[in-house]
Copies of this chain bind each other. A is one copy, B any other.
Amino acid sequence: MTTPREAGFAMPAEWGPHAGCWMIWPERADNWRLGAKPAQAAFAAVASAIARYEPVTMMVSAGQFENARALLPDAVRVVEVSTNDSWARDVGCTFLLGPDGALGGVDWPFNAWGGLKNGLYFPWDLDDQVAAKMLGIERARRFRAPLVVEGGAIHVDGEGTVLVAEQCVLNNNRNEGVTRQEMECVLKDYLGVSHVVWVGQGVPGDETDGHIDNLACFVKPGVVLLSWCDDPADPHYAVSRNAEARLLGARDAKGRALVVERMPMPTPMFYTAEEAAGVDATASGMNRRAGERMAASYVNFYIANGAIIAPCFGQEGFGVATDAAAREVLARLFPERDIVMVPAREILLGGGNIHCITQQQAGG
């Protein structure tokens, strides 16, 4: 088995040029309230926002094909791909570029964030086929990885560094007994990087076991944006301080010390009784009870060609102050890009956010 690194492939930074963005149409009624109709509207709004900056492909089941086609702008390409849920970041391929700009991708094994040990649903067979289907449509070279990793568990700087959280990528429910050294080897071989930066825990309550993309991301080489909490009573207070200390003690692949930028957390958000009541009862691992706190974060945004597509949560006066603060941080860190904030509470209700439901395809 040739690895991407051996073949000269690597994952570019998200701020590099994109050929487009891939998403998956939500539909499962045991995760998305009211038959997924509010989520479909929210996903359509994200797709529409991104489509103003780069081509968007929406993957849709046969049963929802006509409905998705009707609700999406003409510019969005709709292709039939069956899935178990709607997280293109995690089940989609990680696109790579190789010699002469060749397109490739990592097909990570997927086990619904934990398999039979507290994974979020069963089965996950269709999700595990998504990466191969994407690469097939694009006639791109496929590299099937030997370990379970989700796209939301990695962030690269495009200059040889990948950022990950121990809680997630070393979790026994992904790859039982895997060592840090084995995981580093696979990350280096399949992402084409030379150095791994580790933090400990992800955002408390994140049902992915601490995906990095909800906690922190590179905004350019040498600079990490970290979801930050100033309330000592909040469990994220210790997590964000610990992550900052780890990041400030690390070096990237080029030997640079990292600069940490702080992104304020949104005002804490909880499932309402009405929201929880709209979700089908299920024996799965998904937790959609009234009063449950959601793992909200403003760093869970998507970098499109020329724009940042970021979540906002403000509604009826609630959350507006943190939305405005987040916009200011993004505008300062990405001065050359439009900052487009899209209402994301309906996405958050399903367990993720804008970065989780998108997957960039590198290319010119």
B-binding residues in A (CB < 8 A):
55, 62, 65-66, 69, 77-82, 126, 129, 132-133, 136-137, 139
Are B65 and A129 neighbours in the complex by a CB distance under 8 Å? yes
Are A136 and B77 neighbours in the complex by a CB distance under 8 Å? yes
Q: How many copies does the complex hold?
A: 2
Are A77 and B139 neighbours in the complex by a CB distance under 8 Å? yes
Are A129 and B66 neighbours in the complex by a CB distance under 8 Å? yes
- Cβ of A21 to closest chain B Cβ, rounded Å: 14
Are B79 and A136 neighbours in the complex by a CB distance under 8 Å? yes
Q: Which residues of B contact A137 (CB under 8 A)?
A: 77, 79, 137
- Cβ of A163 to closest chain B Cβ, rounded Å: 33
Which of A69, A77, A136 is the most central at the interface, judged by chain B CB atoms within 10 Å of its CB? A136
- Further 19 A-B residue pairs, CB within 8 A, beyond A77-B136, A79-B133, A79-B137: A55-B139, A62-B62, A62-B82, A62-B126, A62-B129, A65-B129, A65-B133, A66-B129, A69-B132, A77-B137, A77-B139, A78-B136, A79-B79, A79-B136, A80-B80, A80-B81, A80-B82, A80-B133, A137-B137
Q: Which residues of B contact A62 (CB under 8 A)?
A: 62, 82, 126, 129
- Cβ of A73 to closest chain B Cβ, rounded Å: 14
C-alpha spacing A3/B256, complex, angstroms: 59
Q: Which residues of B contact A55 (CB under 8 A)?
A: 139
For A62, give the chain B residue with the smallest CB separation: B82
Q: Which residues of B contact A77 (CB under 8 A)?
A: 136-137, 139
C-alpha spacing A126/B80, complex, angstroms: 11
C-alpha spacing A79/B133, complex, angstroms: 6
C-alpha spacing A256/B308, complex, angstroms: 61
C-alpha spacing A139/B66, complex, angstroms: 17
C-alpha spacing A77/B135, complex, angstroms: 10
- Cβ of A220 to closest chain B Cβ, rounded Å: 32
Q: Which residues of B contact A65 (CB under 8 A)?
A: 129, 133
User: Can you list 11 A-B contacts with CB-CB less than 8 angstroms, sorted by A residue number?
Assistant: A62-B62, A62-B126, A65-B129, A65-B133, A77-B137, A77-B139, A79-B136, A79-B137, A80-B81, A80-B133, A137-B137
C-alpha spacing A78/B78, complex, angstroms: 17
Q: Which residues of B contact A129 (CB under 8 A)?
A: 62, 65-66
Q: Which residues of B contact A133 (CB under 8 A)?
A: 65, 79-80
C-alpha spacing A78/B129, complex, angstroms: 12
C-alpha spacing A137/B59, complex, angstroms: 11
For A55, give the chain B residue with the smallest CB separation: B139
C-alpha spacing A79/B82, complex, angstroms: 11
- Cβ of A171 to closest chain B Cβ, rounded Å: 27
Q: Which residues of B contact A79 (CB under 8 A)?
A: 79, 133, 136-137
Q: Which residues of B contact A139 (CB under 8 A)?
A: 55, 77
Which of A65, A78, A80, A132 is the most central at the interface, judged by chain B CB atoms within 10 Å of its CB? A80
For A65, give the chain B residue with the smallest CB separation: B129
